[in-house]
Amino acid sequence: MTKSTINLILVVLFTISNISCTKTQNQELKLWYNKPAREWMTEALPIGNGYMGAMFFGGVEKEQIQFTEGSLWSGGPGSNTDYNFGIREGAWKNIEEIRNLIKEGKLIEANLLASNEITGSNENQFGAQQTMGDLFISVEYSGVPTNYKRELDLNKGEGSVSYVLDGEKYKRTYFGYYPGKVMVYNFNSSCKAGYSILFQSPHKMNSEDFVNGIYSFKGEVKENGMEFESCLKFDTDGKLDFIDGKMQITNAKNLTIYQVAATDYTLEYPNYKGADYIAENKKALESLEGKSYKEVRKEHLEDYQNLFSRVELNLGENNRDSVPTDRRLSEYADGTFDLGLEEIYFQYSRYLMISASRKGTMPLNLQGKWNNSTNPPWACDYHMNINEEMLYWPAEVTNLGECHLPIFTYMESLVEPGKNSAKEFFNTRGWIVNTMNNPFGYTSPGWGFQWGFFPAGAAWLCQHAWEHYDFTRDESFLKETAYPLMKEAALFWIDYLIEDEKGYLVSCPSYSPEHGGISGGAAMDHQIAWDLLNNCVQASDVLGIDDEFKQIATVVRNKILPPQIGDWGQLQEWKEDVDDPNDNHRHVSHLFALYPGKQITVEHTPELAEAAKVSLKSRGDGGTGWSLAWKVNFWARLKDGDHAYLLLQRLLRPSANQGMDYVNLGGSYSNLLCAHPPFQLDGNMGGCAGIAEMLLQSHDGIIELLPALPLVWKRGEVKGLVARGGFVIDIKWENNELLGAKIKSLAGREIPVKYKDKTFNVSLHSGEEIILDKQLKTLQ
């Protein structure tokens, strides 16, 4: 080897290993504004500790911190003694007749019978997630504020408000402290200041106390008697009094308010009640004793950054940090090049996930944990026909596997009521959950057939359980949590699928989510059932158990009607070839097999992938927030980075629309929360997953680097993404070409790594890592 070759290798080695050790984020990762928020939905900024979500407005004269706790709900058994999870006993007796009508082509009659008989009851007892209340904090005030800034620092996981008044500096810092189950609001000023704090709740107040410097509000959701308490503990160098229902603080340079909140809800069928919420709050407050604000903040940073800083994304140039985020967003839509905003958008979802979904908390709901209403859109519930799943799409790939856990605990609580629903509506074994679900085990079809019928919800959720295993290779999780959930969900499909005239197994009756009509059967059901049974087969192999069940699952999987290509080259949404090429409905359910499923891939089923592309093109590039986000992922799986990027740009279209719109106005509010409209968190999460999917894919038994890199991302770097099989991956690229990658194995395994037409087999022990150059040659 010549000296110059050795030098070259060293240079390359240095460049690539260097990317793996230096800090690559080239920006501050902040959302910031030069004025207070006026609107909750579009402008206020979200913080959370997993259990609670809060939104702050940042008013100088009066701060408003709206908050809730994830389990605070109306509806359920407390609202009526007849509450029965939506079940209609014996509804299954109609299934045979519906099947016959479908077979005879009498779809109108079939639809009518299904609408009358296969719908859930309890519309009035479904309930809705509830805001708990607001803190209004008035600040002694004179003069005209200057240097005003309201921001959210994603690197630190905290919000802040700062300004100058009469030459004195004021700074507020807010964050959710997950390890302590506490929300922390710190007010600091260079001069002594006075504050007056009012706690308000739309709910019935049972008592209000101020004892030993702790304020507590005990209340109740009137409609179902759910009890709750929120307490405020103060730490200040000023003087604290309780006068006329308000906390008054005078002469304070420093004030920290610690807030806790809990309800008597328990995630336990059938009563969902009985938690000792008062003791929980007491314990959380007691654990703060002896801790200074600084110590609490340090613990928060450690906890938060341990998750957040695992992934870095650098898309190249960024010179827009000095522009307020609202302006940044509108200028982006006007064509200003702003890759930094895309990085923020990606990392914001990770921030939101860490802030709202941690072990022991309720899972993310339609608005994460941020809801300011007693009657929120779609009840702010768990919507299982795309939304709940999308909320968790980025969890594994963006290295937040721990944040995925709440959904599994939640799924476990659905099995029992879900089995009853399966029995009464379909006379099958197994568990189901349909479109709308509340935390009181409502697993039945919704009370409207056209939107509410979707028994595949459980099977779809089970994909997440399998994926958590697949990404982490945690066999005890597979054995104890994932497999029992999956197997029980699979039983439903084994019983429910019926043979059609050609001997295929089909889902009948079925209804392609919110699009319909009634069918025998919808492609999405077939794809989801296939995915579940396929995962069950693999799980049984990994665990070396249940051979008999595995044989049955294999036979059933192989007999399911495979994805069909229709008349105009489209992927059929139904068994019947009736897709309309002019239809641009937001649900693109029949492409499940492309993403998040893996039954269709460009490499292994190119004709089906082509048909999926035809369908996708005909559906167009419009849609609600989550629909745009789903399309980012579809195009990424089709390896078309530029088209994925186009959809990402659409997701970042500024919106101020708070009303309900189903057609074409999806985008982002100035606080970067996703506009369905109205606000729904799924679009944020789906968009983040889409960005990851453009940079790394691993669903097909290989790790593919930069599978859908758009032209505009000329050079950049991502660190810490996770691939299935337990690999943590850093990738660097330049001139739109791979420069190098670092792959670390957590679980010890062999896997092919692919970039364009090159493939290299990586074989690593657990904890080992490897560096590859742009030719996929080993450097280390």
Tell me which residues touch ligand FUC (CB under 6 A): 366, 378, 383, 385, 387, 451, 514, 586, 624, 626, 662, 676, 680
- Strand-pair category, 703-705 with 749-755: parallel
DSSP 467-490: HHHHHH--HHHIIIIIHHHHHHHH
Residue whose beta carbon is closest to ligand FUC:
378
- Residue placing its CB nearer to ligand FUC in the complex, 119 or 259: 119
Residue 587 beta carbon to ligand FUC: minimum distance, rounded to whole angstroms: 6
Helices and strands, number each (H, E), in the chain: 20, 31
User: In this complex, which beta carbon is closest to ligand FUC, that of residue 230 or of residue 680?
Assistant: 680
State in angstroms the smallest separation of the CB of 442 from ligand FUC: 15
Amino acid found at 248: Q
Half-sphere exposure of residue 123, counting CA atoms within 13 Å on the CB side? 6
Least Å distance, CB 388 to ligand FUC, is: 9
Beta carbon of residue 348, minimum distance to ligand FUC (angstroms, whole number): 20
Query: Whose Cβ is closer to ligand FUC: residue 323's or residue 665's?
Result: 665
Q: Which is nearer to ligand FUC, 281 or 349 (CB)?
A: 349
Residue 669 CA: distances (Å) to CA of 131, 248, 617:
21, 35, 27
Residue 257 Cα to chain centre, angstroms: 29
Q: Which is nearer to ligand FUC, 141 or 662 (CB)?
A: 662
323 and 28 in contact (C-beta within 8 Å)?
no
Taking the least distance from each CB to ligand FUC, the nearer of 458 and 721 is 458
Distance in Å, CB of 625 to ligand FUC, minimum = 8
CA distances from 187 to 173, 242, 680 (A): 7, 18, 31
Q: Identify which of 309, 318, 357 has the alpha carbon closest to the alpha carbon of residue 336.
A: 318
Query: Least distance from C-beta 666 to ligand FUC, angstroms?
Result: 9
Lookup: tokens for 400 = 């937040």
Q: Nearest distance from residue 682's CB to ligand FUC, in Å?
A: 7
| Nearest in space to 27 (alpha carbons), one of 302, 306, 314, 309 | 314
The 3-state DSSP class for residue 427 equals coil
CA 34 to chain centroid, in Å, comes to: 29
Using CA of residue 527, residue 533, residue 538, residue 539, what is the dihedral sign?
A: positive
Cβ of residue 252: shortest distance to ligand FUC, in angstroms? Answer: 44
Rank residues 423 and 676 by Cβ distance to ligand FUC and give the closer one.
Answer: 676
**Residue placing its CB nearer to ligand FUC in the complex, 201 or 437:** 437
CB nearer ligand FUC, residue 515 or residue 699: 515
CB of 684 to ligand FUC, least distance (A): 13
CB 174 within 8 A of CB 158: yes
Could you tell me which residues come within 8 angstroms of residue 459 by beta carbon, excluding any fewer than 6 positions away? 489, 490, 492, 493, 528, 529, 531, 532
Computed on alpha carbons and rounded to an integer, the radius of gyration of the chain in Å comes to 27
